[in-house]
Structure 1
Amino acid sequence: MGLLSFFSKYVAAYTVRQQNKWASRPIESQYNVFQSLIKGAENTAFGKDHDFENINTYEDFKKRVPIRDYEQLRPYVDRVVAGEADVLWKGRPIYFAKTSGTTSGVKYIPLTKESIPNHINSARNMLLNYMHETGNYDFVSRKLIFLSGSPTLEDKNGVFLGRLSGIVNHHVPEYLRRNQMPSYETNCIEEWEEKLDAIVAETSKEDMSLISGIPPWVQMYFDRLQEKHGGKKIIDIFPNFSVFVWGGVNFEPYRAKLYQSIGKEVDTLETYPASEGFIAYQDTQDQEGLLLNISSGIFFEFIPADQYFDENPERLSIGEVELGVNYAVIINNNAGLWGYSIGDTVKFVSKKPYRVIVSGRIKHFISAFGEHVIGEEVEKAMKAAVNKFPETELTEFTVAPMVSQSEGQSKHEWFVDFENKPKDMDAFSLYLDEQLQQLNVYYKDLVSGNILLPLQIVPLKKNAFQDYMKSIGKLGGQNKVPRLANDRKIADALMDYAEK
């Protein structure tokens, strides 16, 4: 065991003890965060506009602070971006995380000196949890790769501006930086395919032990590595590769192909980071769900997803949620986001401690016919079908409605890039449809009532999703295709990539 691995053993034990303290007292932990946030923003423009001085309870807060998305909070954010201090949080941010919004164009998410530890320490704590539970300390003494955005930062009225993953890159602890890959110069390459080739060239002869990134883009990295090494399995290229860290999408559709490329199963760790905050992380290998980050500068609220678009939806604190209910996530944090809807939905799978699974996006659903199919349901249905037809491997898929003017001819279309197709596509499609019916009773009623036809699979040419993302200028390690949509914007574009 190297010196760094030896040191990590004791830090991991301490970190887990501290984590267990706040995780075992969730109501108290969230109350302490709430009080700290209200006090920290009391004298800001937002705090004065919303009477923070007289907020003592969560009920007081709900009466004064409405739910907002980015566009609704934008008048305050624009003042921060223009250089004004003490607007949403005391002082000025130290960074803006730049992200793309579907309705707001480029979004500027403030990061403050108080909120940065949430992003940095959460990833660290996840790795320390893993070490403590598994006894695998050796990987930190070898090379670690993080497929991330460019760390190049711009100046925005005296505040550094960049992608969150690029910002976080500047805060990698010094004791890990010597093992971090790719190099700073390679990470700064903006064009994704050029960057990927440079990463392959730089890492292919290194002793990689941990690889982190969004699954579809890690698969691209593996494919390029295997091309360079004559088809060798990743475990033969990197014999000590033992940990795969991922987030951003559901792992299940990619699992089979990734493990096939690797040549064996390795331990995986799921993260749930967003530009607005590091929401949750996997704290154990043997329990479902991600540990909610309830003691890291974020006060959480939850709205039942089926009430989200109501005029006055129910707003719940951590002590009021129930297991198995689909909730929209609302955050309040020490970067000055208040009643802020991040657009994600989660379900609680445990209350001791509070663990969640990410179930989808509040605006990513199909309800063209009243079925309200969500991301979690299509993911589960596809996983069941792939398990039923084990020869099947897929690279990516998305789902959209096809509305026909002829009665009873409408349906859902599933656009799929298969690595290996099922031997019987008709049987696969039928089973997939049956699984979705079991998961969504409204969809079942529509199919049973002959309002919808059973789903149709549209097989796509190899690398169709990569080519599509490239065509719209979004090919890169941090971009992903929505799993489903209620319109045909993406679906119609993908028809150009359909197999003839």
Structure 2
Amino acid sequence: MAILGNIIKGVIDITDSFSSELNPVEAQQEVLKKLLDKAKDTEFGLHYNFENILEADNVAKAFSEEVPYFDYNKINKEWWHRLQDGAENLTWPGHPKYFALSSGTTGTSSKRIPVTDEMIEAIKQAGINQVLALTHFNFEADFFEKEIMMLGSSTNLQKNNEHLEGEISGITASNIPFWFRSYYKPGEEIAKIDDWDERVQHIAENARNWDIGALSGIPSWIELMLQKVIAHHDLNHIHEIWPNLQVFTSGGVAFSPYEKSFNALLGHPITIIDTYLASEGFMAFQARPETDAMQLVTDNGIYFEFVPFKPEYIREDGSLVTDAPSVSLKDVQLNQDYVLLISTVSGAWRYEIGDTVAFTDVERAEIKITGRTKFFLNTVGSQLSVNKMDDAMQKLEEKFSTKIPEYTICAKRCEDGEFYHCWYIGNEDNLDSEDIAQALDGFLKEANHNYEVARSKALKGVRVQLIPPAVFHEWSAASKKKGGQVKMERVMNEEKFQVWEDFVNSQK
């Protein structure tokens, strides 16, 4: 009998019953006031008159009128860069103990995003809230006694002046609560290994020693880890070695492009729970099984704003124009794509995280990530978003009975002087690229009127190159991003695309 599991499940059930009455709009209003009050005496708070904002009849409106939008480049240039030299009380009281390194999807050098003690606690609390929400999924008590494989970047953080640096998954894993350590795998010793391939080799060698009930990580790297374990032990599927595996907590990117290839590694279906943890904070998690949407964490150190995702509001580099309108949670609408803005306990203010979201349930504050502002392809008027591209990949998988875990695209002016959408698609089957291109073009025309119009005018065609999925992984490895918080560039500009094509040719 799972005595410990029954105790844990009972505590979860009771605690969740007391925490389910949260009003997201009211919670957000309180979070904003607490953020402003805490930071009012910082240089940023004094510069933007936080004390006066707090006295306004409508604090949210006064805040949006007084403080401009910031992307990473802007806030780092004007404020955060001084933190590297030990400055204090800039955009948040004190000096951050950690910096999350994030090169994202397009940058060549790492961003350094401050992670304060308050943010560490906020991430821990969001994680606890996610665990409490598991009561809605009706797992048996013995599930809560199984171990959890958290596959992220190395926990061997690097010292830089008076702070430590590493990817957010490594920072959070190095700060796991003491009571969780007996559940956490691969354990502290293996998690500190810097080389991702070596770390996964150790996981494969130790796999039989663990009773894994849940996985957590970015789908592409979890897949590679599972493949390594399966190959090392000569298995048919992962459930032959981890029979009690029931849950995959997916984060970082949309799971849908990986669904078919991921499921091929399993002996039977498992529960997929989406999460939204970025270098800037723990934004949302799936709180109930009736939907695959995620509930915003509205009461825990992050204040959200939303800008309608329209071409006229987005610059070519993906940042917002100065006068783009924003709304708070109380004014959002269903099924409208928004650019997400956050203000946080790490001193990010009206910060453009780079993601677009849409609400599936306003009352519950539930969202889906619909894309990236930099992955919005509108070079020739096609207005093609990542969610439309992901949908098209799924349709290709269905039509051709295949798996497509990775892809990237560029609107490229080719040798005849005309624009084409040039796709590289990761696939291991012997498919015909012309057939794929024709089907892909058709799916996108049906799904997107703007794309169909562009195809009749400036966009002359679709070109497809089919390459092994491993090439995408090696591209990340060459950029020193293997196994970390990696989001493959779904859309590239022509300059970056040329580097990509040169890399692909070098792999042949």
TM-score (norm 1): 0.93
Partner of 1:394: 404
Partner of 2:444: 436
For 1:388, what is the secondary structure of its paired residue?
A: helix
For 2:369, what is the secondary structure of its paired residue?
A: strand
For 1:190, what is the secondary structure of its paired residue?
A: coil
Which of 48, 52, 60 matches 1:54? Answer: 52
CA contact (8 A) 1:70 1:104 kept: no
For 1:85, what is the secondary structure of its paired residue?
A: coil
Partner of 2:266: 262
Larger deviation, residues 426-435 vs 338-347: 426-435
**1:397 and 1:19, CA in 2 relative to 1: closer, same or farther beyond 3 A?**
farther
Q: One-letter code of the match for 1:50? A: Y
CA contact (8 A) 2:339 2:357 kept: yes
Aligned: 1:180 with 2:184: yes
Distance in 2, matches of 1:179 and 1:419, equals 36
CA contact (8 A) 2:433 2:466 kept: no
Report sequence identity in percent.
29
Distance in 2, matches of 1:119 and 1:100, equals 21
Q: One-letter code of the match for 2:441? A: D
Which of 10, 25, 28 matches 2:26? Answer: 28
Please state how far the C-alpha of 1:495 moved relative to its aligned partner: 5.5
Deviations 1:170-216 (A, max 9, x none): 23232321121112121111111111111111224422111111111
Partner of 2:75: 73
Partner of 1:475: 482
Deviations 1:254-274 (A, max 9, x none): 111111111221101111011
**1:6 and 1:338, CA in 2 relative to 1: closer, same or farther beyond 3 A?**
same
Please state how far the C-alpha of 1:479 moved relative to its aligned partner: 2.2
Partner of 2:110: 106
Partner of 1:340: 351
CA contact (8 A) 2:9 2:144 kept: no
Distance in 2, matches of 1:37 and 1:149, equals 30
Please state how far the C-alpha of 1:115 moved relative to its aligned partner: 2.1
Distance in 1, matches of 2:340 and 2:132, equals 26
Please state how far the C-alpha of 1:282 moved relative to its aligned partner: 0.6
CA contact (8 A) 1:153 1:160 kept: yes
Aligned: 1:85 with 2:95: no
Distance in 1, matches of 2:143 and 2:494, equals 45
Give the alignment of 1:279-318 within 5 angstroms: 279-306=283-310, 307-309=313-315, 310-318=321-329
Structure 1 unaligned regions, length at least 5 = none
CA contact (8 A) 1:381 1:432 kept: yes
Distance in 1, matches of 2:85 and 2:26, equals 37
Q: One-letter code of the match for 2:21? A: K
Please state how far the C-alpha of 1:87 moved relative to its aligned partner: 1.7
Please state how far the C-alpha of 1:440 moved relative to its aligned partner: 2.1
Please state how far the C-alpha of 1:100 moved relative to its aligned partner: 2.0
Aligned: 1:413 with 2:415: no
Which of 487, 491, 497 matches 2:494? Answer: 487
Aligned: 1:323 with 2:321: no
Partner of 1:115: 119
Please state how far the C-alpha of 1:405 moved relative to its aligned partner: 5.2
Distance in 2, matches of 1:445 and 1:366, equals 14
Q: One-letter code of the match for 2:453? A: D
Deviations 1:96-150 (A, max 9, x none): 2222254583322222232222211222322321244323342331221110111
Larger deviation, residues 199-208 vs 486-495: 486-495
Distance in 2, matches of 1:54 and 1:260, equals 57
Distance in 1, matches of 2:271 and 2:208, equals 21
Distance in 2, matches of 1:417 and 1:104, equals 23
Structure 2 unaligned regions, length at least 5 = 316-320
Partner of 1:140: 144
Distance in 1, matches of 2:322 and 2:175, equals 41
Larger deviation, residues 143-152 vs 229-238: 229-238
Partner of 1:459: 466
Distance in 2, matches of 1:60 and 1:459, equals 52
Aligned: 1:94 with 2:97: yes
**1:444 and 1:237, CA in 2 relative to 1: closer, same or farther beyond 3 A?**
same
Partner of 1:211: 215
Aligned: 1:227 with 2:231: yes
Q: One-letter code of the match for 2:420? A: K
CA contact (8 A) 1:100 1:107 kept: yes
Larger deviation, residues 201-210 vs 235-244: 201-210
For 1:199, what is the secondary structure of its paired residue?
A: helix
Deviations 1:324-382 (A, max 9, x none): 11111111112211111111111111112111111111112222212221111100111
- Give aligned pairs, total: 494
Aligned: 1:37 with 2:64: no
Deviations 1:230-265 (A, max 9, x none): 242111121111111111122112111111111221
Partner of 1:2: 2
CA contact (8 A) 2:434 2:464 kept: no
Please state how far the C-alpha of 1:417 moved relative to its aligned partner: 1.6
Distance in 1, matches of 2:371 and 2:378, equals 14
**1:230 and 1:432, CA in 2 relative to 1: closer, same or farther beyond 3 A?**
same
**1:18 and 1:97, CA in 2 relative to 1: closer, same or farther beyond 3 A?**
farther
Aligned: 1:371 with 2:382: yes
Distance in 1, matches of 2:360 and 2:128, equals 23
**1:308 and 1:368, CA in 2 relative to 1: closer, same or farther beyond 3 A?**
closer
TM-score (norm 2): 0.91
Larger deviation, residues 275-284 vs 88-97: 88-97
Partner of 1:17: 17
Distance in 1, matches of 2:210 and 2:351, equals 43
**1:120 and 1:171, CA in 2 relative to 1: closer, same or farther beyond 3 A?**
same
Partner of 1:403: 413
**1:146 and 1:491, CA in 2 relative to 1: closer, same or farther beyond 3 A?**
farther
